[in-house]
């Protein structure tokens, strides 16, 4: 069965600094990978996804992520954060065939400081 | 595209009562998912449907939980004999079978069991 580990529960960072949110997955077969963001009192929104092709994926709001198959990682990065990026970020995985269950990590709370 | 809608948005009930949540997915989406999210945690998979067929159900889900999608459109999630531990946000998401994998989430139904 697939699983997702988000190594950091909270990440504080100053405005305009770069940030990396870490995500590792476990699966014996090929996967699709996603990052979702949840702003306070709102639903989850897709930031970006990796399905196939280029391992560097660009998403909305200046975020990008790199799929690393050998390290089973899909870390999320942004070169310069804004106060408005303060939110909860979730990594998710699903298999490319068979079950269509999506498994989410426990989340990383990004706190951008002025 | 009116998005995924969930009703009610908030429900307060006494322990032992039954509650039912409704989810209306995006109209052309044939896969529908239910997740549970508690404070500080990621969405936890409960079950999913393809059209009216319930294809997978979490083993963590007790017999007090039941979900239906009778005509392959809206879905209901019923919790019988609620317990305080059932207090959580219940999320619904949908996707199209031939989609590029993204789940579209509703804003959730918050359950408080007193």
- Helix (H, G, I), strand (E, B), or coil: what is residue B85? helix
Taking a C-beta distance cutoff of 8 angstroms, is the pair B103, B96 a contact? Answer: no
Task: Find the residue in A nearest to B38 (Cα).
Answer: A106
pLDDT exceeds cutoff 60 at B1: no
Please tell me which of the candidates A9, A51, A101 has its beta carbon nearest to residue B56: A101
Helix (H) or strand (E) holding A20: strand A19-21
* Residues B51-103: tens digit of each pLDDT: 999 999 998 778 999 999 998 899 999 999 999 999 999 999 999 866 667 89
CB half-sphere exposure, A28, CA atoms < 13 A: 2
Task: Find the residue in A nearest to B103 (Cα).
Answer: A46
Q: Cα A21 vs. chain centroid, distance in angstroms?
A: 7
- Cross-chain Cβ contact A104/B100 below 8 Å: no
Chain A, residues 10-49, CB within 8 A of chain B, namely 32, 34, 36, 42-46, 49
Supply the pLDDT for residue A18. 97
- As a whole number of angstroms, the distance between CA B56 and CA B29 comes to 17
- As a whole number of angstroms, the distance between CA A109 and CA A111 comes to 6
Residues from chain B contacting residue A46 (CB–CB below 8 Å): 102-103
- As a whole number of angstroms, the distance between CA B68 and CA B22 comes to 10
| pLDDT bucket at B11, cuts 50 / 70 / 90 | very high
Q: Cα B33 vs. chain centroid, distance in angstroms?
A: 6
- As a whole number of angstroms, the distance between CA B57 and CA B62 comes to 10
| pLDDT bucket at B28, cuts 50 / 70 / 90 | confident
Q: Is A2 on the interface with B (CB under 8 A)?
A: no
Average pLDDT over residues B23-34: 93
**Over chain A, what is the mean pLDDT?**
93
* Residues A3-38: tens digit of each pLDDT: 899 989 999 999 999 999 999 999 888 889 999 999
Supply the pLDDT for residue B43. 95
Q: Cα A103 vs. chain centroid, distance in angstroms?
A: 12
């Amino acid at each position: 069965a697939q699983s997702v580990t988000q190594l950091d529960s909270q990440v504080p960072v100053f405005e305009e600094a770069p940030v990396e949110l870490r995500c590792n997955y476990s699966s014996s077969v090929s996967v699709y990978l996603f990052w979702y963001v949840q702003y306070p009192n709102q639903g989850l929104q897709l930031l970006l996804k990796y399905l196939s092709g280029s391992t560097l994926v660009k998403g909305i709001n200046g975020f990008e992520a790199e799929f690393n198959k050998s390290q089973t990682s899909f870390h999320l990065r942004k070169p310069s954060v804004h106060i408005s990026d303060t939110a909860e970020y979730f990594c998710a995985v699903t298999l490319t065939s068979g079950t269509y269950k999506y498994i989410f990590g426990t989340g990383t709370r990004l706190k951008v400081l002025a | 595209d009116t998005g995924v809608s969930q009703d009610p948005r908030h429900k307060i009930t006494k322990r032992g009562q039954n509650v039912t949540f409704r989810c209306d997915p995006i109209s052309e989406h044939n896969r529908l998912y239910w997740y549970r999210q508690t404070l500080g945690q990621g969405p936890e998979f409960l079950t999913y449907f393809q059209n009216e067929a319930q294809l997978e159900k979490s083993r963590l889900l007790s017999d007090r939980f039941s979900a239906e999608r009778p005509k392959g459109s809206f879905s209901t999630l019923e919790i019988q004999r609620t317990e305080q531990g059932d207090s959580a946000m219940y999320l619904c998401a949908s996707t199209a079978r031939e989609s590029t994998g993204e789940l579209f989430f509703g804003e959730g139904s918050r359950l408080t069991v007193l």
